Amino acid sequence: MTDLVTDLVDRPTVGATHGRTTAAAAVGGGVLIAGWGHAVPERRVTNHDLARHLDTSDDWIVERTGIHERRLAGPGESTGPLAIAAARMALDRAAVTPTEVDLVIVATSTPERPLPATAALVAAELGATAGAFDLNAACAGFVYGLASAAALVGQGVARTVLLVGADTMSSIIDPDDRSTAVLFGDGAAACVLVGAGPPEGNGSTEPVRTTGAGAGAPGLVAADLVGDPAGVDLLVVPAGGSGRPASAETVAGHEHFLRMDGREVFRRAVRAVAASVGRTLAQAGCTADDVALFVPHQANARIVDAVLPRIGIPAERTSSTVHRFGNTSAASIPLALAEAADAGTLEPGDLVLLCGFGAGLTVGSALWRWNTPGPAGPNGPAGPIGPVEGAL
Ligand code: COA
């Protein structure tokens, strides 16, 4: 009879060989986005396609939202597989192996399953023994994840973090509800964040700040994570959680689908985004003129149009993908960031401003100093955002 402790507990775990770092080593030169990746479902659904079974029209949707089409998941394209495909691309482009990843964070409100966390599924599929957790801050999830990851790297808790924003909104959208079905899409995008280590030639043992306008180091310059509690009931999925577990009754009542007060979300989102961006820039001692690229949550072109004059950033310095993908929730900001980065619009030292808002209402802004040379990371470009390949 084998000794269970010796056999199962003390046996070395395959792949458990990351070089975890000390705080002093990790904070030195800030945090780098070393690579990024993306994955969207194959199926492209245009407004005209939707108008075949919904009482809507291409004109109505384009005028009210700026959305022309979205990608909707087919078999094998749910949150887990999309996240894994985006993560693989990001790791490849960063030239980082799964065993070098210390932590996997998946921002999502449509996890692959209630348990385990989608992040754990991603780590398992990649063969990484990294810590793994999901983060639900709805459509602001990627910004919350970025601020959290930067803080964890800055404190030396992790050196290499795989951060994914992934959602399959079609799994919680009533396809017969024209007020929500036209707005949302499915997708995933990922970033590999790496502690940059001590700056070259700096023999100082003093920790180098990773936040603040004067820091100059890559990574998080300032962040603002806030809530609008008066909006807590504006975007809800009533059933399927512990308060009201799924049952035949909840399914019959369509309570597992998203319900939204669109007008009120619109009104509150414009104000909240403008205020959050203002606080983030003030915290950093920057103005809108210092921002090289604004990457807002891609919920609706009209919301972005209303925000831009309030914050003083022109449309030319704003990344937009909403016309092609709709609102992909936690994936929307990293997809738009990846597209801009792939297009070579970012130079080392550029300040990138990200802002998300979503159910809760959660609101979050982050000012990030870019320092990835070239448009693609160490392993070159991966081509335009397209369907998941091979990972499913
Ligand atoms: N096609 C055609 N008509 C539609 C429609 C559709 N897809 N959806 C709603 N309508 C109708 C409504 O029923 C209403 O008809 P009525 O006047 O006969 O009652 C009319 O269009 C106007 O509806 P309303 O809700 O006032 O339109 P709106 O100008 O506010 O635009 C949204 C609706 C949803 C596009 C807009 O409120 C919005 O963008 N909100 C923000 C939503 C969002 O971004 N949510 C995610 C946040 S993370």
Task: Provide mean pLDDT across the span 237-265.
Answer: 97
CB of 267 within 6 A of ligand 1: the answer is no
User: Mean pLDDT, to the nearest integer, of 301-323?
Assistant: 97
DSSP 8-state code for residue 9: I
Domain range for 40 is 2-369
**Is 385 inside any structural domain?**
no
pLDDT above 90 as % of the chain: 81
Neighbours of 97 (CB within 10 A): 15
From CA 121, how far away is CA 187, in angstroms rounded?
17
Does the C-beta of 139 come closer than 6 Å to ligand 1? yes
Answer whether residue 203 shows pLDDT above 70. Answer: no
Q: Residue 212 has what pLDDT?
A: 42
- Is the residue at 121 inside a domain? yes
Q: What is the pLDDT confidence band of residue 383, given thresholds at 50, 70 and 90?
A: low
Residue 253's nearest CA partner among 235, 234, 240, 262 is 240
Q: 197 pLDDT band (50/70/90 cuts)?
A: low
Please tell me the residue having the least CA distance from ligand 1 atom 32.
262
pLDDT at res. 232: 97
Instruction: Give the number of the atom of ligand 1 that is nearest the alpha carbon of residue 181.
Output: 7
* Cβ(379) – ligand 1 distance below 6 Å: no
Q: Which atom, in ligand 1's list, is nearest to the CA of 65?
A: 35
The mean pLDDT of 218-222, rounded to a whole number, is 95
Q: Residues for the chain: how many in total?
A: 392
Of the candidate ranges 64-73, 337-346, 373-382, the one whose mean pLDDT is the lowest:
373-382
> How would residue 381 be classed by pLDDT, with cut points 50, 70 and 90?
low
The reply to whether 387 falls in a domain is no
Interior angle at CA 385, CA 382 and CA 390, nearest 5: 70
Does 120 map to a domain?
A: yes
Q: How far apart are CA 212 and CA 324, in angstroms?
A: 35
Reported as a single tens digit per residue, the pLDDT across 340-354 is: 999 999 999 999 999
**pLDDT at position 10:** 54
Contact 357, 347 (CB under 8 A): no
pLDDT, tens digit (0-9, with 9 covering 90-100), for 153-185: 999 999 999 999 999 999 999 999 999 999 999
User: What CATH number does residue 296 fall under?
Assistant: 3.40.47.10
More confident residue, 67 or 204: 67
The answer to whether 327 and 137 have CB atoms below 8 angstroms apart is no
Lowest mean pLDDT among 77-86, 249-258, 319-328, 365-374: 365-374
Q: pLDDT tens digits for 17-58?
A: 343 333 333 334 689 999 999 999 999 999 999 999 999 999
- 136 with 104: CB under 8 angstroms? no
Whether the pLDDT of residue 389 is over 50: the answer is no
- 117 residue type, one letter: A
Whether 390 maps to a domain, the answer reads no
Both structure tokens of 153 = 């790297």
* Averaged pLDDT, 59-63: 98
For the whole model, what pTM was predicted? Answer: 0.89
Q: Residue 96 — pLDDT band, cuts 50, 70, 90?
A: very high
Distance between CA 224 and CA 83 in Å, rounded? 26
pLDDT at 140 over 60: yes
Q: In angstroms, rounded to a whole number, what is the distance separating the alpha carbons of residues 13 and 159?
A: 20
Expressed in angstroms and rounded, the spacing between residue 55 Cα and the centre of ligand 1 is 12
pLDDT of residue 371: 87
Query: Can you say whether the dihedral through the CA atoms of 266, 270, 271, 277 is positive or negative?
Result: positive
Q: Using a 6 Å cutoff on CB, does residue 266 contact ligand 1?
A: yes
Q: E strands, 198-267, where?
A: 219-227, 235-236, 259-260
pLDDT on residue 386: 65
Domain count across the chain: 1
Residue range 185-189: mean pLDDT, rounded: 98
Assigned domain for 53 exists? yes
Q: Give pLDDT, residue 217.
A: 85
Which of 179, 265, 325 has the most ligand 1 atoms within 8 A of CB, as the residue to mutate?
A: 179
Say whether pLDDT at 213 is over 50. Answer: no
Look at residue 372 in the predicted model and tell me its pLDDT: 80
The mean predicted confidence, pLDDT, of the chain is: 88
Helix%, strand%, coil% for the chain, nearest 5: 35, 20, 40
Distance CA 84, CA 145 (A): 17
Which residues, in sequence order, are bridge partners of residue 293?
352
Question: Residue 50 to residues 143, 177, 298, 331: CA-CA distances in angstroms?
Answer: 31, 11, 20, 22
According to DSSP, the β-strands at 103-107 and 131-135 are parallel
pLDDT more than 70, % of the chain: 83
